[in-house]
Structure 1
Amino acid sequence: MSHVSIGVTDYAKSRAFYEAVLATIGAKVVMEVDAPGVQAAAFGKQFPEFWVQTPHDGEKPSVGNGTHFGFLAPNNSAVRAFWDKAVELGASPDGEPGPRPHYGEAYYGCFLRDLDGHKIEAMAWNAAFDTGHD
């Protein structure tokens, strides 16, 4: 997958929220759009991966039932920092940081609801990845 986008109610507040929260896992604003009818910021570690924007149709954004956005953290400490920063900035807890063995023995993550109610997650995979290359 290349990227995902979410609609937000208060663009400036949501941009600031994600700028602070995603910094805990090494992501930053890598691109912005300020055009008639839309404001958007793309966050990523190297390229646009996660967009926060005003909806293109000008309508109120809505939260997807059963949808959540998982962000890969480099380690358990970064998952905790993501959680702490998000809660500090007004996110609602929806699953404290910790191991989730039912997702795999190597899985460590947390879940929150952002300022608009979107479910977000930070997770670390505490096992070596086999790339298939020598």
Structure 2
Amino acid sequence: MIGYTMVGTADLNRAEQFYDPLMALLGQERCFSDEQFASWGRKDDDRAPRFFTGYPFDGNSASVGNGAMTAFLIESPEVIDRMFEIALERGGQDEGKPGFRPQYGEGFYAAYVRDPDGNKLAFVCYDAGKPA
């Protein structure tokens, strides 16, 4: 259903430094980058969903939509915990510490951050098991 997701940035170099280690943990490689944008995904499959960050094409500054969020499906709570740590180390902001969210499902484990440009991200695992 999703072909790609793109979030805006005011500083592409900073955004690349923020996203490179997160995408590496997801097994996603840098597919392309130039002076306008960067993308991550699978180089061997151009039909697999990709994630982009870049400067808005209309030349105006990037703005963040209230209520917009990109959620990355993660294999385990441990990887979510590590992604949350890396995001904060790379200039992200805490929007919800890692933990179970039983209101979304019995095994729903997630963490929420904003990237250095204010784009909201979620790292989620749907089947993390029952909370202790």
**Secondary structure in 1 matching 2:36:** strand
State TM-score, norm by structure 1. 0.85
2:40 paired with 1:43: yes
2:24 paired with 1:27: no
1:31–1:48 contact (8 Å) kept in structure 2: no
Aligned equivalents of 1:72, 1:23: Cα separation in 2: 14
- RMSD over aligned CA atoms reads 1.8
**Secondary structure in 2 matching 1:105:** coil
Aligned to 2:4: 3
- Deviation at residue 108 of structure 1 after TM alignment: 0.6
Q: Percent identity?
A: 33
- Deviation at residue 125 of structure 1 after TM alignment: 1.9
- Deviation at residue 48 of structure 1 after TM alignment: 4.8
Query: Structure 2 unaligned runs (5+)?
Result: none
**Secondary structure in 2 matching 1:126:** coil
What is the one-letter code of the residue matched to 1:44? Answer: G
Query: Structure 1 unaligned runs (5+)?
Result: 128-134
Residue correspondences, number: 124
State TM-score, norm by structure 2. 0.86
1:42–1:48 contact (8 Å) kept in structure 2: no
**Secondary structure in 2 matching 1:23:** helix
